[in-house]
Amino acid sequence: MVLTVMLHRKEIDGLRAVALLPVILYHAGFASFGGGYLGVDVFFVISGYLITSLILEEHAAGRFSLAGFYARRARRILPALFAVILVCLPFAYFWMLSFELKEFSQSVVAVVSFLSNVFFWRTTDYFGALAEVKPLLHTWSLGVEEQFYLLFPLVLLAALRFGRRFALAATIIAAAVSLGAAHWAADRMPIASFYLLPTRAWELLAGSVCGFVMAGRVQRSQGGLAAVGLGMIVVPVFLFDAETSFLGGFAVVPVLGTALVILFAASGTVVARLLSAGPVAGLGLISYSAYLWHQPVFAFLRIRSPETQSPVVLGVLVFVIFGLAYVTWRWVETPFRGKTPVLASGRALIAVTVAVGGLLAAAGYAGVAANGFDQRSNGDVTMGALAATIAPNPGLGGCDTVPPVNAVCSTGPDPKILLWGDSFAKHLAQGIKASAGGRAFVQITMSQCAPILDIAQKKDWLSGNSADTCIAFNQSVLDYIRSERIEVVIMGSALGLASWRVTRRNGEIVEGDSPAIVARGLAATVAAIRAAGAKVVFVSPTPSSGQDSARCAIRSIFDHKNAATCDFPLQTARLEYDLLRSVEGEVPVYWLYRDMCRDGICKAREGDVSIYRDEGHLSIEGSRMIGERAGWIQALLRMAR
């Protein structure tokens, strides 16, 4: 094993604690820590600093070894990670629904393949409601670090052949390019920008620059700069939230703050004394294990008990996480990283790593192959059968072409009623059909494409239809209304583009108040429909608790719980509701919550039927049941004007 003489800095341990606490409290759901996710950015800078310092020190002494470097990273990362995943497996099997377990199994394979960030990029919005029930979501950051650790030493060694100044310049240029890419992608590919190495590397490289600056030098003592740096880390935790567009922009604040602390918090400064204090530095020592445990603990709590937990319960769980972290640090991390580590032989380390990683991968593949073990039963019904009741609701079918090429997209010959919109129009189709009483209608819908002419939401590539596709689709629908002499247009949408910057037909990203832009666009679209000779009515999005009501409903069915377990209070103070209220003078709005809520309480389940299929869309049976009971088609035709 390669030994180093790099001095241990207790203030770096304390800095880890400063990064850790906001992350844990953010995921616990404490509203005051809305920017707690920024703790990961601090971890990235620390990691970049430490590994660069180690490489430079060993390279200068002529004893750097790639094999030794990778062995140290494996000892640091894998034992505790594998231990936490192993503990998660039985809880996942007994507590997760089949589709949850299948996705969890996929995430296990992704983690042991060092690709968890790529997996979650393709499947999960980090700030979405479903993120709270993903036990391994937090491993995306490990994926970023693991990929960086694999590539960076190779590039750095190549650069060092031309001297340390050249290597520093190359590192600065690489960081600038990555930061530029993050800034460019923040609007164009926000999900990819959050999860992937190319747009995160600048944070690790910022730490690397600190490593270059401090290599072979006495640390400068600038208490004022160190204090400013600490403030730049702490203050955004309370000022930022999930809506803050921070990648490539605001993330510079905590990243620069971390660099200032690393560079200037010498042992005599107030900041160094604070960070080196016993409890703070001690928490930093167990920070990696605590980070590993926090997401599974909170996720499995929410899976098992979907109802909102009290601050007291969440606070107790924070202390449970610290207890688990200490146990893992003491009996897993330390034995593998000590002066005489377990599996001191590199070959033994590789063999055990491959064996345990292979076991976890096999467990993951088994869960995928068994479709999340969907034959598990409660004595009355299997999980697979329950999961089928909340399958995606495409309405009449795949009806995203103009004119529809799928015969099922029309319920009769020469329909004069058109259902137009995104997936929040699709989910109405079964209810409209159930109440139609022989009236024919046609569905033309495209997911993530609000039925508004000339503007659309700029999508992350591979995560949805492009803005150009949506704009062209909506124009073709208007042409269809004209050519087919449609008499009534029923519009439906979640109006999600009001939450983002939108783009125009010419590709221009619109600056300004998106809800106002969308409201004007909707009013103009309604005017165009009427000019084509048709009446129009808009159906609002469903009421929502912000959680996945479908999962709650079918879990309560499987566990024989009361249907009221998943009821939730009506919330009308929502962006999309405010937007629709602002245009009710232009277009009549059919408010779905009037069909779904009584006395301010909304149901997610009736009998053994889940009304929802996720946090917002109606299930097929839910749509049929509510649409028939409320007489949707008759009500909508009466309202249309």
pLDDT grade for 4, boundaries at 50, 70 and 90: very low
The reported pLDDT for the residue numbered 6 is 58
Q: Please provide the distance, in angstroms rounded to a whole number, between the alpha carbons at the two ends of the chain.
A: 79
- Per the CB < 8 A criterion, the answer to whether 101 and 375 are in contact is no
Q: What is the pLDDT of residue 129?
A: 73
Mean pLDDT, rounded, for 570-592: 94
The predicted model gives 57-75 an average pLDDT of: 93
- Burial of residue 218 (CB within 10 Å: 0-12, 13-18, 19+) is exposed
> What span, in angstroms and rounded, lies between the C-alpha atoms of 463 and 251?
23
Q: pLDDT of 145-201, one tens digit each?
A: 999 999 999 999 999 999 999 999 999 999 999 999 998 888 778 889 999 999 999
Q: Assign 458 a pLDDT band (cuts: 50, 70, 90).
A: low
Contact present, 91 and 250 (Cβ < 8 Å): no
* 489 three-state secondary structure: strand
Task: Give the phi and the psi of residue 360 in degrees, each rounded to 5.
Answer: -65, -40
Compute the distance between CA of residue 104 and CA of residue 93 in angstroms, rounded to an integer.
Answer: 10
* Tens-digit pLDDT profile for residues 260-269: 999 999 888 9
Q: Residue 246: which pLDDT band, with cuts at 50, 70 and 90?
A: low
Q: What are phi and psi of 507, to 5 degrees?
A: 90, -5
In this predicted model, which residue has the larger pLDDT, 563 or 134? 134
Q: What percent of the chain has pLDDT over 70?
A: 96
The pLDDT tens digits of the residues spanning 326-355 come to: 999 999 999 998 777 888 887 888 899 999
Q: What is the pLDDT of residues 274-289, one digit of tens each?
A: 999 999 999 999 999 9
- Residue 356: pLDDT band by 50, 70, 90 thresholds? very high
Q: Strand, helix or coil at 617?
A: coil
Phi-psi region of 391 (alpha: psi -120 to 50; beta: other; left: phi over 0): beta
DSSP secondary structure of 173-218: HHHHHHHHHHHHHHHHSHHHHHH-GGGTHHHHHHHHHHHHHHTTSP
pLDDT in tens, 110-121: 999 999 999 999
Place of tokens 């879990």: 555
Q: 609 φ, ψ to 5°?
A: -110, 125
Question: Is the pLDDT reported for residue 1 higher than 50?
Answer: no
Q: How far apart are CA 368 and CA 390, in angstroms?
A: 19
Residue 154's closest CA among 167, 141, 140?
167
Summary mean pLDDT of the chain? 92
| pLDDT bucket at 248, cuts 50 / 70 / 90 | low
pLDDT in tens, 496-527: 877 777 888 877 777 667 889 999 999 999 99
pLDDT at 462: 44
**Model pLDDT, residue 461:** 47
Predicted pLDDT at 61: 92
- pLDDT reported for residue 2: 38
Mean pLDDT score, 213-226: 87
What is the model's pLDDT at position 498?
78
- 3-class SS string, 378-413: CCCCEHHHHHHCCCCCCCCCCCCCCCCCCHHHECCC
pLDDT (average), residues 532-537: 98
pLDDT above 60: residue 247? no
Band of residue 220 on the pLDDT scale cut at 50, 70, 90: confident
**Pick the residue with more confidence: 555 or 308?**
555
Kindly state the tokens that stand for 211: 């490593």
Range 529-533 average pLDDT: 97
Nearest CA to 45 out of 225, 288, 252, 198 is that of 252
Higher pLDDT, 127 or 531: 531
CB 212 within 8 A of CB 52: yes
Residue 546 above 90 pLDDT?
no
Closest by CA position to 500, among listed 486, 487, 488, 510: 510
Does residue 64 have a pLDDT over 80?
yes
